[in-house]
Amino acid sequence: STGFFQPKPKVRNQFDEDVTYRRTIAFYLSEQTRNQISPDLSRWGAHVLSPQVLTWLSNAESHPPSLQLRDSFGSPASASKQLITSEGWRNLQDLGLKEGIVAIGYEKQHGHQTRLVQFLKMFLWCGSSSTVTCPSAMQDGAARLIYLMLEKRDGKLGPAERKALESAYARLTSRTPGHAWTSGQWMTERTGGSDVRGTETRARKLSEVEIADAGEWISTDGIPLGDWSVDGFKWFSSATDADMAVFLAKTGDSDNLSLFFAPTRRLQQNKETDSNHINDATQYEFNGIYPQRLKNKLGTKALPTAELELKGMRAHLLGTEGQGTKEISPVLNITRVYNAVSSVGALGRSLAISRAFARVRKAAGGRLLMDIPAHVRGMANVHVQYRGDMALTFFVVYLLGISESEAPIAQQDLHLLSSKEQAVHLLRLLTPVTKAMTALTAISGIRFCMESLGGVGYLENEDIELNLAKIFRDTNVLAIWEGTTDVLAGDTVRVLTGSRGTDVLNAFGTWVHGLVASKPVQTLGLGLSSLTAEMQQIRHMMQRNKGPAILYNGRELL
């Protein structure tokens, strides 16, 4: 046909084009680290928009996962045949692993800035990843958890447990597809995801006779399975293709939850089991896991979220019986940071799409959208919110890096805080706040971006890099999983009123006072508006819960 055809908008490399991203890099990283990592970020920013990656993304989105539980004759299929994921999804998973989306955090090449480097890279990945970042988040959380367990329970671990944990840690932090492991995080049951006390899953320690009778079973890393047997039902398992899972279960007759870890696949070893057999993924069956159905979701279509029945799943007890909720919290806190980066990542990509359209689309008698004041004003509002959320999110990432640093932190690197301990307290306070509020900003901001493209913004565009509808659908889950807004508001109040509440408030007060006087904050282009926005967010969380006023030095701060 003839007539007008809209020239296609071109989304530019966000490393070059996104002023907020550039300012975030400049603000948080030292010059040396900036110089070291900029070439990689620039390359990665281009690669995530390359035809290769976009083809995988398209393939993953248009070929959702499926279950095929039995073979033609009715026998249960092997694990790798039961859950079918697309080629695009698997390629994107491998790419994320190779690029070190998780591994960078554990290679520790940038001292206390390591987490910043990692999440600045992940930020660029969000819009092209088809949510492989969800398994990555849980992989990272599990790696951190196991690291802490190996460190804290050093003397208390049995040799079998230690071997299993060390092997899992090495795989969770590996960059090599095929060798590297991702992890699931199973907390939610039919009784509830916010309040997990109604968990029905139970674990029973097997006797030596039972273990001997069962024969020797190994997982995909060749390590014998754990000595607990688990039965129950997990209502949401996002990374059903993961190699392992950390989860909660009750033990014995107790009503308290304990923390477990289990590989998801197993192979019975016998004399005939040769090494080819062991290396062949198709030989493995699920480790007492019986997928029931895949969830039919609004978004995250490529992500295999399933309901899983557990029957005789062999697992290792990870911590102390009855302490499971507290012990799994490092996973929650890491995945909540991923959630916040995913929110700003999705909004950042959506704004890049909106800007690309505004550069080529004409309206109002032939003017480009980017020259129409009403359009610019509307989008500027979203950009301001985005900028505030980027500052807050990467401040939390910065705190995470400080909190994990094994080397002493120089005073100038502590920035506005007086000690590493204060960073730990502030991280605990700001993680739930940031997770909750960035998700809400992203959802409303992306809706605005869709409108900025007019009708095309509402379409399931074939040009996947312009498909805002997909990003919008995917982003909605960020306010629900890993704690809904009200649950995180409750967590915020718990932190402020808990046994370390005074220390947390002192850290918060030091930070606020430092911010008010801070020149660097002004160079970020935020000035006091950032502080105000962050304080408003915390106040909002408090009000939702009718929490107490925040006092600092006896004065009401908020």
Site residues (vs ligand FAD, CB under 6 A): 184-188, 192-195, 236-238, 297, 300, 305, 477, 480-481, 484, 486-487, 490
Work out how close the CB of 301 gets to ligand MFK at its nearest, in angstroms, rounded to a whole number: 14
Contact 343, 475 (CB under 8 A): yes
Q: Is 329 in the site for ligand MFK (CB under 6 A)?
A: yes
Q: Which of 57, 77, 79, 137 binds ligand MFK (CB under 6 A)?
A: 137
**Count of residues interacting with ligand MFK (CB under 6 A):** 27
Decide which of ligand MFK, ligand FAD, none touches 477; Cβ closer than 5 to 8 Å per partner kind: ligand FAD
Within 10 angstroms of residue 298's Cβ, the number of other Cβ atoms is 10
Contact 131, 182 (CB under 8 A): no
Decide which of ligand MFK, ligand FAD, none touches 335; Cβ closer than 5 to 8 Å per partner kind: ligand MFK
Please say which residue, 501 or 525, places its beta carbon nearer to ligand MFK. 501
Q: Helices marked H in 67-183 — which ranges?
A: 79-82, 87-98, 104-107, 114-125, 133-152, 159-172
How far, in Å, are 351, 383, 387, 436 from residue 380 at the CA level? 10, 5, 10, 22
Q: Is 476 in the site for ligand MFK (CB under 6 A)?
A: no
What the block records as the tokens of 491 is 């967590």
Contact 143, 173 (CB under 8 A): yes
Q: Pattern 214-243, binding to ligand MFK, x per CB under 6 A? A: ------------------------x-----
Query: Distance between CA 54 and CA 40 in Å, rounded?
Result: 19
Decide which of ligand MFK, ligand FAD, none touches 522; Cβ closer than 5 to 8 Å per partner kind: none
Please say which residue, 281 or 480, places its beta carbon nearer to ligand FAD. 480
| Binding to ligand MFK in span 149-188, by CB under 6 A | 185, 187-188
Work out how close the CB of 298 gets to ligand FAD at its nearest, in angstroms, rounded to a whole number: 8
Round the CA-based radius of gyration of the chain to a whole number and report it.
Answer: 24
Q: Which of 338, 394, 448, 472 binds ligand MFK (CB under 6 A)?
A: 338
Contact 341, 122 (CB under 8 A): yes
Q: Is 326 in the site for ligand MFK (CB under 6 A)?
A: yes
| Binding to ligand MFK in span 104-133, by CB under 6 A | 131, 133
Q: Which of 123, 386, 394, 481 binds ligand MFK (CB under 6 A)?
A: 481
Decide which of ligand FAD, ligand MFK, none touches 329; Cβ closer than 5 to 8 Å per partner kind: ligand MFK
Q: Is 311 in the site for ligand MFK (CB under 6 A)?
A: no
Helix, strand, coil % over all residues of the chain, rounded to 5? 55, 15, 30
Of 67-75, 98-106, 332-340, 381-389, which part binds ligand MFK (CB under 6 A)?
332-340
Q: Is 485 in the site for ligand MFK (CB under 6 A)?
A: no
Per DSSP, what are the bridge partners of residue 309? 233, 290
CA torsion, points 87, 88, 89, 95, in degrees to nearest 10? Answer: 110
Strand pairing class (244-251; 257-263): antiparallel
Of 286-294, 323-331, 417-425, 503-511, which part binds ligand MFK (CB under 6 A)?
323-331
Query: Distance between CA 94 and CA 89 in Å, rounded?
Result: 9
Per-residue H/E/C for 340-376: HHHHHHHHHHHHHHHHHHHHHCEECCCEEHHHCHHHH
Binding site for ligand MFK (CB under 6 A): 131, 133-134, 137-138, 185, 187-188, 193-194, 196-197, 238, 325-326, 329, 332-333, 335, 338-339, 342, 481-483, 487, 491
